Chains A and B, each alone.
Chain A
Amino acid sequence: MAFRLTGLKVSPNSATLEEARARVFDFFKAACRSIPSIMEIYNLHDVVTESQLRSSVASEIRKHAQVSNPKVIDLLLFKGMEELGNITEHAKQRHHIIGQYVVGGQGLVQDLSAKDQGNSDFLKKFYNSNYF
């Protein structure tokens, strides 16, 4: 089955950093454009807003902000496109989206109360897992 999202295709290698950078922006825009339909497909309206999803996409991209090799950027872009394709294809399920982009890497337990802000590093890690 072909991807419904047109314009997502593997492009030739970026020659320069500038070209790669432009491609990242294109990718980000494409992702933003598909967010409304993603909200629709996965029925996300009651758990997340569009802007939250946008910033989650942005933060995924920013994770690799320090990468300066165009080849690596191309690779990451390719992975991102694949992921976006899979999501818009409905190749994933709702909990995937929620787990990866709504709840994010912090896990389900979050110490959000003001009292917990002063917790030591040890306690924060302790709540997370036994291994640290």
Chain B
Amino acid sequence: MGLGLLPSRFSRIPANRLFLRSIVSNSHRQSPEAAAAAVPPPEPTPDLPPRTPVAGARVHFPNPDDAIEVFVDGYPVKIPKGFTVFQACEVAGVDIPRFCYHSRLSIAGNCRMCLVEVEKSPKPVASCAMPALPGMKIKTDTPLAKKAREGVMEFLLMNHPLDCPICDQGGECDLQDQSMAFGSDRGRFTEVKRSVVDKNLGPLVKTVMTRCIQCTRCVRFATEIAGVQDLGMLGRGSGEEIGTYVEKLMTSELSGNVIDICPVGALTSKPFAFKARNWELKGTESIDVTDAVGSNIRIDSRGPEVMRIIPRLNEDINEEWISDKTRFCYDGLKRQRLNDPMIRGSDGRFKAVSWHDALTVVAEIVHEVKPEEIVGIAGRLSDAESMIALKDFLNRMGSNNVWCEGNGPNPNADLRSGYIMNTGISSLEKADVFLLVGTQPRVEAAMVNARIRKTVRASNAKVGYVGPPADFNYDYEHLGTGPQTLLEIVEGRHPFFSTISNAKNPVIIVGAGLFEREDKDAVFSVVEAIAKKGNVVRPDWNGFNVLLHNAAQAAALDLGLVPESNQSIVTAKFVYLMGADDADLDKIPKDAFVVYQGHHGDRGVYRANVILPASAFSEKEGTYENTEGCTQQTLPAVPTVGDARDDWKIIRALSEVAGVRLPYDNFGAIRSRIRTVAPNLSSLDEREPATFGFSVKPESNQKMSSTPFKAAVENFYMTDSITRASKIMAQCSAQLLKK
């Protein structure tokens, strides 16, 4: 962030100016007043090399006529009207120091770190709050600007404790970096520093409020992005503090992001407190799997241990935020892990055995049962590679009863548009009406919810919701609780229908919780009828979306993991649970032989006869498709635990022991197998929209029941085996869930 970019900025200085930057003490330095007064002679012709905008930022001109030209350090840049001086400097490739400015938050202009000199202005101006005017001559490198920064730093450090050695922000602290780069080399402060009482913001965010520099980024984040009015500024002057007004925890599913945006160590991660220094950590760019959004994350690890998870920028998916579940579930990766293959003995206890013995036992049993009695269930965290391996293995054994949990008894895998978000997460911003059917995006996909909230805030989009009473952090209209309301809408009896049909870009989002309903086809055809009548799907706009819950779901449907008969689990004699803990385990007959392959000793293990330990998402390379159809990849950050193996390797090995050897021996080979089944899964980091709409779908003649929709996610913090094993998530659900 901010000052992370500084080194690159310095490296851009041409060699001939380097000499002038060498550390010397001259009269300017010894008397800053003289430096400020000495106006450098104006450069006659700027022979500066063309600059690249900070962080590769691109400028979008909504209206080419509105472009204005300003000069930054003598270098002319074209910017659209309405840009601030700060943004103009960024376009010109000059990184202005800042504390309070954040590109995704409103402008506060209260830290004054971004002061620059503007020709003909009597005082330095706070560039983040000053609109750029045509022909403005901005100077960012003059003695006046430098002196202003130095002064601001001095004031900020006046009340900032000298905590760096015991501060968790140390090493990635904007204040530390900027005081090194722009601060004075001595202080004049001799008084007593003020101190502020720490606030309790809950189990996730640790506060050391004395370190706060009152930039109000956290307050703006909470009110603008997270949509909770929990944080605020109290008092004035030196009595100013950040707090929660009353003794209250911060209850937002995005609260962890204030840790990232706080430029100092006032808000840090509680679980990470005093665990590691950031320069000891190895970062691995990976993907989150705790929901279907596929937020981009960086897994920071030290040795074999995941120390923390932080977001990675991806404008199309999670911008630069992640949900608390994503950020703090990592301690679940260290608990309840399965590390040895195990077989349940006759006394009901598990005994650790070698891989050789475990696979031999499984292979023997799988040959003893009839092919129709073999069932395979992929778990919600499975990657595409292991799912295709499981499907191929079961197919070779003669069974076609393989599915992914969460997709319901008879999923529609034929029409891709029927199970992905056709609009795409980032295009939700163009919508002006939302109809949420049986989905509570706040708990099902917090990042999608943040996008909807952003849209509602920016364009006053209307939100209609059909489903059980739920928590929203934006204005919405509760239309009803069950399918009845949908019928009213489709028949035009409901006023919301005219809202949809009058909208420019209406969006319908159907929750994947509906997949479990008996009358799923009927409900979907009603929703599709609404979409048709309301003109939701047009050649230039596809507003029909399904919001999935699990990381594995979309890829499973793409790969065709569809059970042959939806009653197969009741008659199964051999059940292969590949990380499946939320399937109907009690429906499995008593005499069935259950193999559990997975990384956590979760629900599936209680019923298992054989355990095959597998690696978690932080330990393997795996392909995941998110709910909008974007294929992404996890990368191994830490080694596997104990004797665990990657999922697809286990199935490949088992297939050989069982005598039906699968033809892929390495990752590349299994990838090309996936390419033949679902080509879209091989184009990484690309969103593949569905080709056909539902207009080609045959009519369903199912009867719709009037049972109201159910909430799909009971506990936001605990949805899968990793989060259920996490202590932090347990604390969150105990303290933060509204009971």
Contacts and interface: CB of A to CB of B under 8 A. Distances in A.
Interface stretch (A16-24, A75-83, A95-103, A123-131): A123-131
A50 interface: no
B645 A126 contact: yes
Given A121-B665, A122-B665, A127 B656 contact: no
B470 to A, nearest CB: 42
A119 interface: yes
A131 B636 CA distance: 11
A109 B652 CA distance: 19
Contacts of B299: none
A15 B305 CA distance: 51
Nearest to B356: A127
Contacts of B156: none
Contact of B356 (A109, A120, A121, A130): A109
A130 B354 CA distance: 14
Contacts of A121: 665
Given A120-B661, A130-B615, A109 B354 contact: yes
B355 A126 contact: yes
A26 interface: no
Contacts of B652: 122, 126
A100 B678 CA distance: 48
A121 B355 CA distance: 15
A115 to B, nearest CB: 9
Contacts of B657: 123
Interface string A103-119: 00000010100001001
Interface in B321-347: none
Contacts of B356: 109, 111, 116, 127
Contact of A130 (B640, B656, B665): B640
Contacts of B665: 120-122
Interface in B603-648: 615, 639-640, 644-646
Contacts of A120: 656, 661, 665
B734 to A, nearest CB: 36
B649 interface: yes
A119 B656 contact: yes
A42 B652 CA distance: 42
Contacts of A122: 652-653, 656, 665
Contacts of B645: 126, 130
Nearest to B652: A122
Nearest to B642: A130
Interface residues of A, number: 12
A120 B649 CA distance: 13
B599 to A, nearest CB: 12
A126 B354 contact: no
Given A109-B354, A111-B356, A130-B615, A123 B653 contact: yes
Interface residues of B, number: 16
A121 B646 CA distance: 17
Interface centre among B644, B646, B649, B661 (most CB of A within 10 A): B649
A127 B656 CA distance: 12
A119 B355 CA distance: 14
B355 A127 contact: yes
Interface centre among B615, B661, B665 (most CB of A within 10 A): B665
Nearest to B646: A130
Contacts of B653: 122-123, 126-127
Contacts of B354: 109, 127
B651 to A, nearest CB: 11
B649 A126 contact: yes
Nearest to B613: A130
Interface in B653-669: 653, 656-657, 661, 665
Contacts of B649: 126, 130
Contacts of B640: 130
A121 to B, nearest CB: 7
A123 B644 contact: no
Contacts of A127: 354-356, 653
A97 to B, nearest CB: 24
A129 to B, nearest CB: 9
A109 B644 CA distance: 15
Given A120-B661, A120-B665, A121-B665, A130 B644 contact: yes
A126 to B, nearest CB: 4
A111 B356 CA distance: 8
A127 B653 CA distance: 9
A116 B652 CA distance: 16
Nearest to B355: A127
A7 B665 CA distance: 52
A117 to B, nearest CB: 13
A123 B646 contact: no
A131 B354 CA distance: 17
B340 to A, nearest CB: 12
B656 A123 contact: yes
Interface centre among B354, B356, B640, B644 (most CB of A within 10 A): B356
Contacts of B656: 119-120, 122-123
B183 to A, nearest CB: 47
A106 B646 CA distance: 22
A38 to B, nearest CB: 30
Contacts of A123: 653, 656-657
Nearest to B649: A126
A126 B657 CA distance: 12
Nearest to A108: B354
A84 B71 CA distance: 77
B209 to A, nearest CB: 46
Interface in A54-77: none
B495 to A, nearest CB: 59
Contacts of B639: 131
Contacts of B646: 130
A123 B354 CA distance: 13
Contacts of A111: 356
Interface of B: 354-356, 615, 639-640, 644-646, 649, 652-653, 656-657, 661, 665
6 contacts: A109-B356, A116-B356, A122-B665, A123-B656, A126-B649, A130-B646
Given A109-B354, A126-B649, A130-B646, 13 more contacts: A109-B356, A120-B661, A122-B652, A122-B665, A123-B653, A123-B656, A123-B657, A126-B355, A126-B653, A130-B640, A130-B645, A130-B649, A131-B639
* 9 closest Cβ pairs, A-B complex: A126-B653, A122-B665, A130-B645, A123-B656, A130-B640, A127-B355, A109-B354, A123-B653, A127-B356
